[in-house]
Amino acid sequence: MTKYFADVSSFQPDNLGFFQGLVNAGVSGIMIKTTQGSPDGDNYLNPKSTNQARNALAAGMNVGFYHYFLASSVADSINEAKFFEQSVVNLGFGKDTPLCVDVEDSTLNTSNVASYVDTFINYLETQGYTNVFQYSMASWFNQGILNANKHPTWVASYGSSDCGARGNIVAWQYTSNWGGGSQDMSYDWGIFDKQPAKIEATTQPTVEPKHPKVENVIKLTEQTHPVDRLGIERPEIYEAGSTWKSSNIVMINDEPNYQIATDIFVPVSKTTFKDFIIVKYMGDSPAPVFDSKGNRVQNASVSTGKSFKTAGFKVINDIPMAKIATNEFIPLEYTSGSKFE
């Protein structure tokens, strides 16, 4: 059965009858705009969002929220993400709520907006939100302004035979005049179908996983200016204690750096991983250990999830490695925060 969801802002009604009418027409979900910009910018909060959420739930609808994106820097992106998150918290919704960043404003810098979106989504995911995605028109994905493969994507394409873009498409907004009015409508291909992690009853025995779960989340230990791929310091400052999801470990200025967005990096030395590592390797296979000359150490290997206090880093045969013993090293590629799968 085809599933539909509508999206609303302050331009739509907030009464129960409106949402009940959608349900009666076969629409099971709703995405509600809560915020636009940041407290330092537009500082816009949809005045109808509380009633819209309450009455959508009363009508039996699935509810998610979206934020209208206006960021012009990484710092802006974080401020907007925090502003949006607080609106969701204030409405009483949990971490599995569908959350979307609406990226379409004509004032956005199309050369840099993808990295700003990465930062926005990364922030929400590091706060524990499990159903975060991006929205824009098909042309922005086809022109390479945004990447439909990098994040789950809700795409807008009206009057076409399909969604108009390719990638990790989870919804298609196919019309802006559903029902003969000015209501947007979308096909749901996974947004509201995504199930939260099951919580076992307390009477059930706890089963330990075969391998510990390795999370690519890093935490800053001091105020930090990130750098770009060439090692040029960026103007924004990230606060001590902030957490980020790393997608790779890259050597910049002879120091390993975690990649936290398209062209944004923070030094390992300014994170809680400055003097220890967590091993990340393949399934049941143990990670190999090497000596200072790059030779594999016989009868020495370590399993995924095992942590080591390190004695610094060394580049051996052009491969950055962490020192875990007098003459034993593990490639940083095999540690948490890398892109190794």
How far, in Å, CA of 308 to CA of 328, rounded? 11
Considering the chain, what is the average pLDDT of its residues?
89
Percent of the chain with pLDDT over 90: 66
Quick one: average pLDDT of 147-154?
95
How far, in Å, CA of 175 to CA of 273, rounded? 48
Which pLDDT score, from 0 to 100, does residue 210 have?
A: 44
The letter for the amino acid at 211 is: H
In this model, does residue 204 exceed pLDDT 90? no
Structure-token pair, residue 181: 């009015």
Give the residue with greater pLDDT, 160 vs 206. Answer: 160
Which pLDDT score, from 0 to 100, does residue 312 have?
A: 86
Which pLDDT score, from 0 to 100, does residue 85 have?
A: 95
pLDDT band for position 311 (50/70/90)?
confident
Sign of CA dihedral 205, 210, 211, 215: negative
pLDDT band for position 196 (50/70/90)?
very low
DSSP H or E run through 124: helix 113-126
pLDDT band for position 214 (50/70/90)?
low
The letter for the amino acid at 83 is: F
Which pLDDT score, from 0 to 100, does residue 213 have?
A: 57
Which pLDDT score, from 0 to 100, does residue 283 have?
A: 66
Helix (H, G, I), strand (E, B) or coil at 122: helix
pLDDT band for position 8 (50/70/90)?
very high
Contact call for residues 295 and 285 (beta carbons, < 8 A): no
Give the residue with greater pLDDT, 205 vs 148. Answer: 148
Contact call for residues 108 and 70 (beta carbons, < 8 A): yes
Interior/surface letters 154-168, b for 16+ CB within 10 angstroms, e for the rest: bbbbeeeeebbbebe
Which pLDDT score, from 0 to 100, does residue 241 have?
A: 84
163-173 residue pLDDT tens:
999 999 999 99
4-188 adopts what CATH topology?
TIM Barrel (3.20.20)
Residue 314: partners with Cβ closer than 8 Å, 6 or more residues away? 292, 320, 321, 323, 329
Residue 162: partners with Cβ closer than 8 Å, 6 or more residues away? 172
pTM for the predicted model, two decimal places: 0.60
Q: Which of 145, 115, 147 minimizes the C-alpha distance to 263? A: 115
57-99 residue pLDDT tens:
999 999 999 999 999 999 999 999 999 999 999 999 989 999 9
pLDDT band for position 120 (50/70/90)?
very high
In this model, does residue 327 exceed pLDDT 60? yes
How far, in Å, CA of 224 to CA of 267, rounded? 9
Which pLDDT score, from 0 to 100, does residue 310 have?
A: 86
- In the chain, what are the domain boundaries? 4-188, 217-334
Contact call for residues 141 and 147 (beta carbons, < 8 A): yes
Interior/surface letters 82-92, b for 16+ CB within 10 angstroms, e for the rest: bbbbebbeebe
239-275 residue pLDDT tens:
888 888 899 999 999 999 999 988 899 999 999 888 8
How far, in Å, CA of 9 to CA of 36, rounded? 11
Alpha carbon separation from 328 to 157, 320, 323 (Å, rounded): 55, 13, 6
Which pLDDT score, from 0 to 100, does residue 180 have?
A: 82
Structure-token pair, residue 334: 């095999």
